[in-house]
Structure 1
Amino acid sequence: MDYFRKNSGTGSKKQASTPTRMKIILGIIFILFALLIGQLAYLQLAYGSRFKSEVAQNDSTVVSNQVPRGVMYDSKGRVLVGNKANNAITYTKGASTSSKQIYQISTALSAYISITDEKPTQEQLAEYYLADTANSTKIEAKLPKSEKGNNVSSTELTQNLIKEVKKEKIKFTKRQKTAALIFNKISGAYTLSTIYIKNKGLTDKELAQVGEHLSDLPGVGIGTDWERSYPNGSSIQSIIGSVSTEKSGLPSDNLQYYLAQGYSRNDRVGTSYLEKEYEPLLKGTKSQIEVETKGNGGIQQTKTVYKGQAGASLMLSIDAKYQKQVQAALKTVYASALSAGAAKYSSGAYAVAMNPKTGALLAITGLSHNVKTNKVTDNALGVINQSFVMGSAVKGATVAGGLLNNVITPTSNTLSDTPIYLPGSPVKKSVYPVGTFSSLDAETALEVSSNIYMMHLALKWVKAKYVPKTYISMPNDAFNVLRRNFAMFGLGQKTGVDLPGEVSGIEGQSFDSQGRILSGSLLDLAYGNYDAYTPIQMVQYVSTIANGGYRMQPYIVQGIGKTSSNGKKIYINYNKKPVVQQQIPWSKAELNIIQTGFYRVVHGTNAWGTAHPLKNVKPSISGKTGTAQTFYYDPDHPNKKNQPELINATFVGYAPSKNPKLAIAVIFPGLDPNMEGTYTLQVAKAMVKDYFAANK
């Protein structure tokens, strides 16, 4: 009994102590809460206004905007590429703009403007529709449980909602479609960046309505955008190149490069040719705008701190008027060749003019012909990136090589005019009948365009061993010997013109599959019927003969400067200096052989002269014609046999014959060999007459 009484006493002590401990703990908690509340009250009373001002205070950030691109002028100061100013509706995105706010702005703005040159995708329409909370709630309710709930990520839920909206096949109004496009533009903008909502076709009414409601459209503004314009036509637009749009932004293949240079992703940049080559100069320096934002991320105000610097202007060597005349002549003559059936399988035609003393390009034009559709389009770029076998037009370089290497001399240059008979091959001869000449000197060989002379010259030059119909042997470096000579004139070499995309031409094979030198092909090379060259290489080559032996680097930008504030004048800060790439080490007597031969091609009395139709053109023209055998290649039937046999017709020349100021090259590839006509000479005549009529 005592035992039980003791235990019972112990238990009552424990029961009595438990409430005391709880009271102590609760007391401590109460004291801590009281201290916390007191501290909060103290902070509220003592620092409340300070905290409130810090929350409300503004933050400022400097953002950059595009400036007008540099203008391009022709050699006479005419604007080739300018900037057309367009009114624009802009939007500057705040630091914490929500989808709900974007929806509200887009919906409100769509009441004042319409976007008709773009069509929203179904996904863009769905995203805009779902930005309305009421719509998203309604659509979500229609989803099965497996497509929503805690087990579905927010990204998956969004995609499921978009799919459901598409299934609904909602009929969106014209205004809603505009709002969807606006919503998409704003959603894709970077924080504190300014984008164009509409920068084309903005009407006065739209501009006025947006201006009246700017206070209700946070972030929306009225500004100016620029687009490229071509007031003197687009005949050389392919040479000038193009600029990316704000929508396409930076080219994806060079994205990291441009970002490292300080560009934004939606900046417009030159994507081809002159626009790309001179991008660092043309882009200018962006304007800087200080954007003040509220504590809640909204934009308080903007202020221009640096108005920027428009891009540098380029003065081109091209004469816009002459360019149009050359293009018109080429189009007219090529149309006549097509009409006559001579150019049925032709790939196009090209013409280029250059100042032989400086390398300044005066006109560049080209045409591409689609044999399947018979459609003809401008292709000035073909002058630098298309290669053709040029034929006898290159014989001036062959004769020069013979003279420079003492194979012939100014006083001893007569060679037999006997055809070449290679074992197992058809006879290799000239156009005129065998036996027309027993022998020829170099000047006459150029005048009558003798293939035989060039082949005999090459045989002596490379020290070949030749027995007609029986045997021929050449050293393995024979091709290199001739090609090094042609390269001195720029043939087979990139000219270094200030345009990207230039090609060096095409070299034919030098050896067969057994490693044996292709002797017959080397003889073809000697008179221009093997390797392929570009039109710009041809005009550089003939310029070298015209100016006395200086291979001038062609160029199209002759000056860089700044356009006046009224846009009517350019102040040049830099002028291009002519660059001599190589000087031909010939004597005056050696040069005279070639120049006399070129003069006689036009003005000679021999019946086999090839450019007599130019004889009466003033000022006097010297030059060389050429024809080269080729074949029509059908890309749709590459293995088709018996493709039509064609010729490439060429002319290179300069005027006046003494103290030349103009060098030209004209190429009509792929003509019917039975209808060669005088197409290249017709274009050459127009090019010379038009140039000197404008430069008396």
Structure 2
Amino acid sequence: MIIRNEKLRYIFLKILIFIISGIFIFRLADLQLVNGEKYRKIADNNMVKQIETEAPRGTIYTSDMQILASNRIGYAVDISFINVDDSVLNASLLNLSGILLRHGEKIKDTFPINMDSDGNFAFSFDDADSEKKWKEKNGFTAEQMGFTARECFDKLCLEYGLTPEYTNEEARQIIVFREKFRDHSFSSWDPIRIATDIKRDTVYEIDANKESLVGVSVIDEPVRSYPFGTTAAHLLGYAGKISGDEYLENEDSDENYSLESTIGKTGLEVAFENELRGETGKEMTVIDYQGRPQYDIMDTNIAAIPGNSVVTTIDLEFQQAVEKALGDHLDYLQTSGAAPEAASGAAVVIDVNTGAVLAMTSMPTYDPNLFTTTISDEVWNSLNIPSDDPVFPRPLYNNSTLTALQPGSTFKPLMSVAALESGTITGETTFYCNGTDPHIPTFTCLGNHGSENVVDALRDSCNVFFYETGYNMGINPIVDYSEQFGLGNPTGIEIYETSGTLGGRDNKDDEWTDADTMNTSIGQGGSSFTPLQMANYIATLANGGSHYQAYLVEKILNNNEEIVFDHEPTLINQVKIDPENLALVKEGMKEVVTDGFAASYFYGFDHEDIGIAGKTGTAEYGDNSVENTSWFVCFTPYESPEIAVAVMIIQGETSSNAVPVAREIVDAYYALKPATDANITKEVTP
């Protein structure tokens, strides 16, 4: 009986094993024979991929919290590296190229072989060395280094599996994309950005063709936006796609840049890159064998954190008024024939009691929105003028901080301070002007002023007075006081600036002579300063000698709008000026606008209750083929100064051509200033 039961259990066990084995065999047949291809693709090609999400850059505000730079949501096309046959990939890329071109999207085409309408091929390299490097990167052998453009094109077609069924035009479109994969081989897991800020209709067509577009995805991306266009362009700068060199430079940094990151290039955008950038997010996504996202693994995602926001010292309406004043006047000078070559200039307004830059403009200008997506070679070449000559109109160049030119007679107030403080002259000292200097007769003056003291000489801009003053004083006090007023040294502003050049023995290879000193005394010779430096020097003079660091950023706010940085005015040094001597210099500058060269332009100005003091300047630059630089500097109000202004017009011919811009700036300042404006005094950081 026991034996029989054991036999039954044994038979039952064999039947159970047989049934289970049958189920496994049936399932295996289903996996391998019926649905084998489907599951092979899933098993072999589905993968978990980490996708980095770009953090929105922080906002840049004016002092009155108007947005100068922010972000909007755009759409971008990415291609991920997918291991598929060339025939499949090429067909997909041609399809994608056709969609983008039909909708007028910009594709960054860096492939250096072009083809004309007759089917002729040519390289687009600027030099032989660039061609050699490109061929080496693309695996050309020593024997192939002499290949023509057509031979190189045919070689790449063969490598990429581009069969004769493709036309040359189609093959080139595909190679443009295939080259991008090769260029990004050092980071093959990062998707490649093919197009940015595409139209919504383009998105719809890509989505409709997604089955045939392998590795292609459309993603949301923050696009940098400058809502006021050209306003404050040079101080803002611009942000754009990171270059290959910039990526490699930052590869080991903590900022975690990707190949498609937006990075600050110039101006405040680059100066405050670490604050504005934010923290990159991460998403773990399952993608299918064609590279298409399937679903996110939500519990592993890390949200991107937007960058901090920057609050500038710039008032929007005032900045726009300053830009209009300079731009309109340059147009007038060119079209009227008053100064036909006057196509460039700058204007800076500084708070004399803090060093805050209230307005800064440079002409010609540009729209930073051009750089937020792909910029065409034609537009880039029109903006990027390859010249170091400051007289060339260069839209991308900030003349306010980067163009240093001789200051001309605007240097004479500083000369007056140096001479009075060094004891070289007093308020009673006079020199006789008959139009030529007694020591060097070839040094002339525009007038025959007769006997002049320092106030008269400032009003009349008498060269002979300052020639003789410089001759008697020597170069050392001039250099000393120039440095104390910040000339020839950086102002400390946050954006890139040049230090200019201070004329003196240290900056001349040949022996220094009396003629050099005399030339320096009227703002000629080896001295060259930027409009920002000139505005800061006048601010220092106006406030009685407090030389402040110039600055553009008042505050930095985090995402909760909490202040993480609050600028305090920084005193660089104190210039010791006897009040009586200062009063003489200011009086001379006041008479410039009441009785001197600038008087006609300040007709109707409230000289009694407000008051203004200024100085004109005309400076030679280069040879006779280049027109003179026009300068005007001023401060206002006269008794309790608030702002200092510097205007420079390159090839403006005469100083009088800079004065109208300053008058409009001053008028705009008082028109926009609240009637009950309360001066806020900040603690000064020495």
Query: What is the SS of the residue equivalent to 2:493?
Result: coil
Q: CA deviation at 1:584?
A: 0.9
Report the equivalent of 1:537. Answer: 533
1:574-589 correspondence to structure 2 within 5 Å: 574-589=565-580
Q: Distance in 1 between matches of 2:177 and 2:671?
A: 55
Q: CA deviation at 1:389?
A: 1.4
Report the equivalent of 1:275. Answer: 269
Question: 1:199 is matched with which residue: 192, 196, 216?
Answer: 196
Q: If the length of structure 1 is used for normalisation, what is the TM-score? A: 0.71
Q: CA deviation at 1:363?
A: 1.7
User: Structure 2 vs 1, CA of residues 336 and 609 (structure 1 numbering), >3 Å: closer, same or farther?
Assistant: closer
Q: If the length of structure 2 is used for normalisation, what is the TM-score? A: 0.72
Q: CA deviation at 1:92?
A: 4.1
Q: Which has the larger radius of gyration?
A: 1
Q: Distance in 2 between matches of 1:376 and 1:612?
A: 29
Question: 2:250 is matched with which residue: 258, 279, 291?
Answer: 258
Q: Distance in 2 between matches of 1:340 and 1:296?
A: 64
Q: Distance in 2 between matches of 1:645 and 1:319?
A: 35
Question: 1:445 is matched with which residue: 434, 453, 457?
Answer: 457
Q: Distance in 2 between matches of 1:335 and 1:237?
A: 19
Question: 2:516 is matched with which residue: 521, 539, 561?
Answer: 521
Query: What is the SS of the residue equivalent to 2:305?
Result: coil
Mapped contact 1:334–1:679 kept (Cα < 8 A): no
Query: What is the SS of the residue equivalent to 1:388?
Result: coil
Counterpart of 2:643, as a letter, is L
User: Structure 2 vs 1, CA of residues 505 and 563 (structure 1 numbering), >3 Å: closer, same or farther?
Assistant: farther
Question: 2:589 is matched with which residue: 574, 589, 598?
Answer: 598
Question: Deviation string for 1:512-541 (max 9, x for gaps)?
Answer: 87x543211201212222222111111001
1:209-248 correspondence to structure 2 within 5 Å: 209-211=205-207, 214=210, 219-245=215-241
User: Structure 2 vs 1, CA of residues 281 and 576 (structure 1 numbering), >3 Å: closer, same or farther?
Assistant: same
Question: 1:625 is matched with which residue: 611, 615, 635?
Answer: 615
Q: Distance in 2 between matches of 1:648 and 1:108?
A: 56
Query: What is the SS of the residue equivalent to 2:565?
Result: strand
Report the equivalent of 1:132. Answer: none
Question: Deviation string for 1:441-496 (max 9, x for gaps)?
Answer: x333322223233233333333xxxxxxxxxxxxxxxx343112111111222212
User: Structure 2 vs 1, CA of residues 405 and 169 (structure 1 numbering), >3 Å: closer, same or farther?
Assistant: farther
Q: Distance in 2 between matches of 1:458 and 1:296?
A: 79
Q: Distance in 1 between matches of 2:649 and 2:152?
A: 60
User: Structure 2 vs 1, CA of residues 169 and 684 (structure 1 numbering), >3 Å: closer, same or farther?
Assistant: farther
Q: CA deviation at 1:110?
A: 6.2
Question: Deviation string for 1:496-516 (max 9, x for gaps)?
Answer: 211124242363777987x54
Report the equivalent of 2:54. Answer: 66
User: Structure 2 vs 1, CA of residues 405 and 303 (structure 1 numbering), >3 Å: closer, same or farther?
Assistant: farther
User: Structure 2 vs 1, CA of residues 592 and 178 (structure 1 numbering), >3 Å: closer, same or farther?
Assistant: same
Mapped contact 1:611–1:625 kept (Cα < 8 A): no
Report the equivalent of 1:459. Answer: 471
Question: Deviation string for 1:596-616 (max 9, x for gaps)?
Answer: 222222235xxx564453253
Question: 2:69 is matched with which residue: 81, 84, 89?
Answer: 81
Question: Deviation string for 1:50-74 (max 9, x for gaps)?
Answer: xx99978987554423222222222
Q: Distance in 2 between matches of 1:202 and 1:452?
A: 67
Counterpart of 1:598, as a letter, is M
1:87-166 correspondence to structure 2 within 5 Å: 87-93=75-81, 96=83, 99=86, 102-103=89-90, 105-106=92-93, 114=101, 116=104, 117-118=106-107, 161-162=155-156
Counterpart of 2:467, as a letter, is M
User: Structure 2 vs 1, CA of residues 426 and 573 (structure 1 numbering), >3 Å: closer, same or farther?
Assistant: same
Counterpart of 1:330, as a letter, is L
Question: 1:662 is matched with which residue: 618, 638, 643?
Answer: 643
Q: Distance in 2 between matches of 1:443 and 1:437?
A: 14
Query: What is the SS of the residue equivalent to 1:288?
Result: strand
Q: Given the alignment of the two structures, is residue 432 of structure 1 paired with residue 432 of structure 2, yes or no?
A: no
Q: Distance in 2 between matches of 1:509 and 1:339?
A: 42
Question: 1:652 is matched with which residue: 612, 615, 633?
Answer: 633
Question: Deviation string for 1:185-231 (max 9, x for gaps)?
Answer: 56766444234444333333x43354456577665433212322221
Counterpart of 2:578, as a letter, is S
Question: Deviation string for 1:59-98 (max 9, x for gaps)?
Answer: 755442322222222222112122232123444445x556
Q: Distance in 2 between matches of 1:415 and 1:211?
A: 84
Mapped contact 1:367–1:379 kept (Cα < 8 A): no
Q: Distance in 2 between matches of 1:324 and 1:378?
A: 17
Q: CA deviation at 1:379?
A: 6.0
Mapped contact 2:422–2:477 kept (Cα < 8 A): no
State how many pairs are aligned: 571
Q: CA deviation at 1:686?
A: 0.4
Which consecutive unaligned segments of at least 5 residues does structure 1 have? 1-43, 126-151, 463-478, 565-569, 634-642
Q: CA deviation at 1:300?
A: 6.2
Mapped contact 1:83–1:226 kept (Cα < 8 A): yes
Report the equivalent of 1:316. Answer: 312
Q: Distance in 2 between matches of 1:600 and 1:327?
A: 28
Q: Distance in 1 between matches of 2:70 and 2:651?
A: 37
Report the equivalent of 1:468. Answer: none
User: Structure 2 vs 1, CA of residues 110 and 437 (structure 1 numbering), >3 Å: closer, same or farther?
Assistant: closer
Query: What is the SS of the residue equivalent to 2:610?
Result: coil
Q: Distance in 2 between matches of 1:524 and 1:209?
A: 70
Please say which of residues 54-63 and 112-121 is displaced more in the overlay. Answer: 54-63
Mapped contact 1:55–1:295 kept (Cα < 8 A): no
Query: What is the SS of the residue equivalent to 1:193?
Result: coil
